[in-house]
Amino acid sequence: MKTAYVASILVGVILILVYTFQANYSSLMSPISNIFFLLLSIAAAGSAANALKKYWRNLRDRYSQIWLFFTMGLLLWLISKVSWSAYTMTPNAMAPHPSLADVLWLAGYLPIFAALHSYLRSFGFSLSRIRYSAFALTVSFALLWLFIILVPPVVAASERDMTVLLSLVYLGLDLSLFSLSVHGLFVFFNGRIGVAWAFVSGALFLNAVGNILFSYATQTNTYFSGHFLELIFHASSIFCTLAFYTHVKEL
């Protein structure tokens, strides 16, 4: 697994360097940005599919269903990014808001939520009083931070009720997934899959932060292909890839 970690760090360093020095190749940054999005999304979906291949038994088996749901959700998010790339790569095209990419992305939440919930049910929701308190404090702090720091600027920048509503729907769904993942992290913290759940929690937290910052940037017309906030989504995809890779190696 050390090779995977080293490779991920190397990819992260390359991403930071490419985004930092983009002024030297600004005309190429849009396709470069989209290529990064697609490659890292494919890596995440492929990692989930690899786990599905390992754990698959039959459609009635709950554990098989879990990995099928994970794979379906990440595939929907991948297709969503393909759709968004089509908008950004088309000259003089303005992406509608909401768009097909939004529909596909929102659809991806359902199977991922089902996978996380079913996973926790299959192993039990048991937490000691101390761990449950730590879990509640962690999630509460994350909720408070995201609402106080990130939501007001998005609401203030938006001139359309639909856009505000969509941004809050994204945030609510992101935090639902994040809450489940943190619950799992506290359940499995000392177990063999504790590291995998740490990566899942990190990926979903970054996804929540990235989505709300993206909403703000698009409403203030400051977003462009190659924006530094894209690094948040790239890091989320890397964490997601590592989560499933680590799970397969550990269990």
Most confidently predicted of 61-65, 83-87, 217-221: 61-65
Joined together, the tokens standing for residue 244 give: 């499933």
Of residues 153 and 44, more confidently modeled: 44
Of residues 53 and 157, more confidently modeled: 53
Confidence (pLDDT) at 191: 77
Please, what is the average pLDDT of the chain?
84
Contact 66, 115 (CB under 8 A): yes
The H or E element that residue 19 is part of is helix 2-20
Which ranges constitute the DSSP H helices of 56-128? Answer: 62-89, 100-123
Contact 111, 69 (CB under 8 A): yes
Angle at 221 between CA 218 and CA 223, to 5 degrees: 60
Share of the chain above pLDDT 70, in %: 80
d(CA 85, CA 95): 10
Contact 189, 134 (CB under 8 A): no
Of residues 229 and 144, more confidently modeled: 229
Q: Can you tell me the mean pLDDT for 171-193?
A: 81
Confidence (pLDDT) at 59: 87
Q: Which residue has the tokens 């509503």?
A: 165
Q: 221 in helix, strand or coil?
A: coil
Q: Which of 12, 5, 1, 7 is closest to 233 using CA atoms?
A: 12
Joined together, the tokens standing for residue 241 give: 């890839």
Confidence (pLDDT) at 189: 76
Tell me how far apart the terminal alpha carbons of the chain are, to the nearest angstrom. 13
Q: Can you tell me the mean pLDDT for 96-104?
A: 81
| DSSP string for residues in 182-246 | HHHHHHHTTSTTHHHHHHHHHHHHHHHHHHHHHHHHHHTT---TT-TTHHHHHHHHHHHHHHHHH
Cβ-based neighbours of 26, under 8 Å, separated by 6 or more:
226
Which regions of the chain does DSSP assign to beta strands (E)? Answer: none
d(CA 229, CA 211): 9
Cis peptide bond N-terminal to 31, omega within 30: no
Least confident of 176-185, 199-208, 225-234: 176-185
pLDDT band at 130 (very low <50, low <70, confident <90, very high): low
Of residues 150 and 37, more confidently modeled: 37
